[in-house]
Chains A and B, each alone.
Chain A
Amino acid sequence: MRKAVPYLMAAAAAAAVLALSHFSEGMNPYLLQILVYMGVNVILAASLNLINGFAGQFSLGHAGFMAIGAYTAAAFTYYLGGYEGTAGQASGLINAFGHAGVPSSVASPLVFLAALLAGGIAAAAAGLLVGLPTLRLRGDYLAIATLGFGEIVRIVISQIEAVGGPRGFSGIPKLTSVAWVAAWVALTLICLRNLLASSHGRAFVSVREDEVAAAAVGVDTTRYKVLAFSIGAFFAGIAGGLFGHYLMYLHPNSFTFIKSIEIVVMVVLGGMGSLIGSAAAAIVLTLLPEVLRTFNGALAVGYCFAISITVARPLGRPGAARALGLLAMSTAGLAALLTLGAGTGSTSELDWMLGLGLAAACAGLISCWLARGRARTLGTVAVSVAALGFGLLLVGPNMLPGPLLAAKGWVEANVSQLRLVIYAGILVGLMLARPRGLLGGRELTWRVLRSFVRSATARASGKSHSGLAAT
């Protein structure tokens, strides 16, 4: 039975990919774009986690690898592919396939795959180039060198006329679909997991933990550092290729060190030793700025955030209050997502759902904060009801008093700028609340999940015995 598990999981992944591609046919293009970006970011975060998290090499130049992959793949399809509207239209590979009797519906994905692989390999070669000379550099010096590398790549690319130079590279055929992205996400995660849950994975971690000791037990630290860079770069290159062939346009300014830092943030947030954490963080951080675009979204996020902090830093009695908070968080998040899906036009059903979720979140928050002792229960209930009412008012139309309405109006007008401020605030807050990332540096395995559930139920049951505030 155990032997069958990998095959079952592969089948499940394939089924998920097929389902996604089927359902995405008629999807709102905005949602589609978000899904594609999420997938790309997951690949980027997971591949960077290999370098930064598992191998412990402080790399700030991941955007450079992404850029190399993006531009190489784009150049491949543009000049060699034979797609319509590109330079290679007449002479490209698709035509060659056509002459050999292969229909373009088969040839096109093959050529795209070849382009992606070319991008990945080019990026991997760059990873080799970066990994080797920087072996002597430690910590922050390595960070600078990789940052410099990323910037150099970007500037050099911006001077190459064949790929558009400083004006950008347009005319790239749109070949990326949700199915492609999903397939590569699955492939990346599977490859990385297979690599990391093995003797080689332990070798990476040993290099991170103590290079001297690693060498003393026979681990070739040089080889593993370079390997981490190369493999990480390969997948970053793939992500870049997918990115370029969705956007149909590439500009060097998409690959500044700011992009590198965004990916680093995802890795740190998800926890440095956790692939699932990186994926989760990538998804959350891709969604976040989008959800924040509307006022409702901003509120939803605000409450989610407050709940998360409460859940992470338990105050007072956990148990029912925390469960409520978690439930509210999911409801609010779901409501926010649905509001998002409907675009900017919101219906009253969505408003009510959102309001309910927000109110529940508020109630959970307040009860967690206040529920320290039986004497305060009454106060807790009172404040929760008040919070419930406030939450409903906030989303209900025009039921607020004057000044609050004006404030709400200002916020709605400045939402796009405000959302960035909120995003930044959330970043700071999340780090203060969960310094070790969402999963605390561990991988989310069944064992970790079991121990989490065990301690949660222990605390919840401890509630009925002691009158002391549990932790």
Chain B
Amino acid sequence: MALLQLSNCTLRFEGLTAVSDFSLAMQPGELVGLIGPNGAGKTTVFNMVTGAYRPQAGRIVFDGRSIVGLKPHQIAALGIARTFQNVRLFGALSVLDNVRIAAHHTAAHGLAHTLLRTARFRSEEARITREALRLLRLLGLSGVKADPASALPYGLQRRLEIARGLATRPRLLLLDEPTAGMTPVETESLMHLIKGLRDDLNLTILLIEHDMRVVMGICERVVVLDHAVQIAEGTPEAIRSDPAVIEAYLGEVNEQPL
């Protein structure tokens, strides 16, 4: 059974159709790429899945349960984590705290335990801290764990966003242009990291990307959006030579040069 199933989803913003009749099925463990020219609607798909926007038509089913209409924090608690196109970290919090906060919804200590500092409080906080440190180690961020998130260099900020997403114990991870603005070396490193995370942590990953190296390198399947519509789907090699995809990115093949 598909872990995530979008069926015929349409999202309109007051006259502008951002996503039209979009369908996607993701099996557990897949690493799928979502590509398309700017403005195609890719981030909007993410926003629909995470509950930031509600589609006017269509169904979204996650792990057998419809998630349309649920609030973003509820969807996150169900096991869907995401990163953002423009990094959205909690700048004033330390790197460690950014990761720890993401584990908050798994915490078993409520207000009473917190105020009275019971044993349950101490053990839960210790568990959260342990797991956060583990994730930081996994993503190579242990050295900066006490620094405020806003002080990190860009590449590390992106990694921190991923670490934070992982702390929510997701089954599905949505990465929005994770290598944007990175050097080729950083991109290569992150690419392998993402693949490794999928393998080691049993994740399903949907990836928005512009960098074709990443798409070709780690995606098993690629879906292409253009102007709100899905225009192609297949293996990376098939997509690369698909005329509709080429046209979308580069314009008409038969256009006369100026």
Give yes or no for direct A-B contact (beta carbon below 8 Å). Answer: yes
- Name A residues whose Cβ lies closer than 8 Å to a Cβ of B: 6, 191, 194-195, 198-200, 202-203, 205-206, 208-210, 212-221, 227, 273, 441
Contacting residues, chain B, for A209 (C-beta < 8 A): 90-93
Binds A, one of B76-84, B197-205, B236-244: B76-84
Interchain residue pairs A-B with the least CB separation, the first 4 = A218-B105, A215-B72, A217-B102, A218-B76
Contact of A203 with B104 at beta-carbon distance under 8 Å, contacts A198-B121, A216-B76 already known: yes
Q: Are B73 and A205 in contact (CB under 8 A)?
A: no
Q: Are A221 and B92 in contact (CB under 8 A)?
A: no
Interchain CB contact (< 8 A) of A205 among B90, B111, B115, B125: B90
Contacting residues, chain B, for A216 (C-beta < 8 A): 50, 72-73, 76, 81-82, 84, 88
Complex: A94 Cα to B105 Cα, angstroms: 46
Beyond A191-B115, A205-B93, A209-B91, list 11 extra A-B contacts (CB 8 Å). Answer: A194-B117, A206-B90, A206-B93, A209-B92, A210-B90, A212-B88, A215-B73, A215-B76, A216-B82, A218-B168, A220-B71
Which chain B residues numbered 154 to 199 have a C-beta less than 8 Å away from chain A? 164-165, 167-168
Q: Are A199 and B90 in contact (CB under 8 A)?
A: no
Complex: A119 Cα to B104 Cα, angstroms: 32
Complex: A227 Cα to B111 Cα, angstroms: 10
Complex: A255 Cα to B257 Cα, angstroms: 74
Contacting residues, chain A, for B81 (C-beta < 8 A): 216-217
A222 CB to closest chain B CB (Å) equals 8
Nearest to B82 among chain A residues (CB) is A216
Contacting residues, chain B, for A218 (C-beta < 8 A): 73, 76-77, 102, 104-106, 168
Contacting residues, chain B, for A220 (C-beta < 8 A): 71, 73
Nearest to A190 among chain B residues (CB) is B115
Q: Are B97 and A213 in contact (CB under 8 A)?
A: no
Q: Are B71 and A215 in contact (CB under 8 A)?
A: yes
Q: Are A219 and B105 in contact (CB under 8 A)?
A: yes
Contact with A along B92-113 (1 / 0, CB 8 A): 1100010011111111010100
Listed by A's residue number, 20 A-B pairs whose Cβ atoms lie within 8 Å are A195-B115, A198-B114, A199-B125, A206-B93, A206-B101, A208-B92, A209-B92, A210-B89, A210-B90, A212-B52, A213-B90, A214-B73, A214-B101, A215-B71, A215-B72, A217-B76, A218-B105, A218-B106, A219-B104, A227-B111
Q: Are B164 and A217 in contact (CB under 8 A)?
A: yes
B148 CB to closest chain A CB (Å) equals 10
A21 CB to closest chain B CB (Å) equals 25
Contacting residues, chain B, for A208 (C-beta < 8 A): 92
B136 contacts partner chain A, Cβ-Cβ < 8 Å:
no
What's the interface size class on B, roughly?
35 or more
Most buried by A among B88, B90, B109: B90
- Name B residues whose Cβ lies closer than 8 Å to a Cβ of A: 50, 52, 71-73, 76-77, 81-82, 84, 88-93, 97, 100-107, 109, 111, 114-117, 121, 124-125, 128, 164-165, 167-168
Contact of A219 with B90 at beta-carbon distance under 8 Å, contacts A199-B109, A213-B84 already known: no
B88 CB to closest chain A CB (Å) equals 4
Complex: A221 Cα to B52 Cα, angstroms: 13
Nearest to A220 among chain B residues (CB) is B73
Nearest to B91 among chain A residues (CB) is A209
B111 CB to closest chain A CB (Å) equals 7
Q: Are A221 and B115 in contact (CB under 8 A)?
A: no
Contact of A194 with B168 at beta-carbon distance under 8 Å, contacts A215-B76, A218-B102, A218-B104 already known: no
Q: Are A195 and B114 in contact (CB under 8 A)?
A: yes
A147 CB to closest chain B CB (Å) equals 26
Nearest to B148 among chain A residues (CB) is A442
Complex: A32 Cα to B76 Cα, angstroms: 53
Q: Are B117 and A202 in contact (CB under 8 A)?
A: no
Nearest to B99 among chain A residues (CB) is A217
Q: Are A219 and B89 in contact (CB under 8 A)?
A: no
Contacting residues, chain B, for A210 (C-beta < 8 A): 88-90
Q: Are B111 and A217 in contact (CB under 8 A)?
A: no
Complex: A200 Cα to B101 Cα, angstroms: 8
Complex: A441 Cα to B116 Cα, angstroms: 26
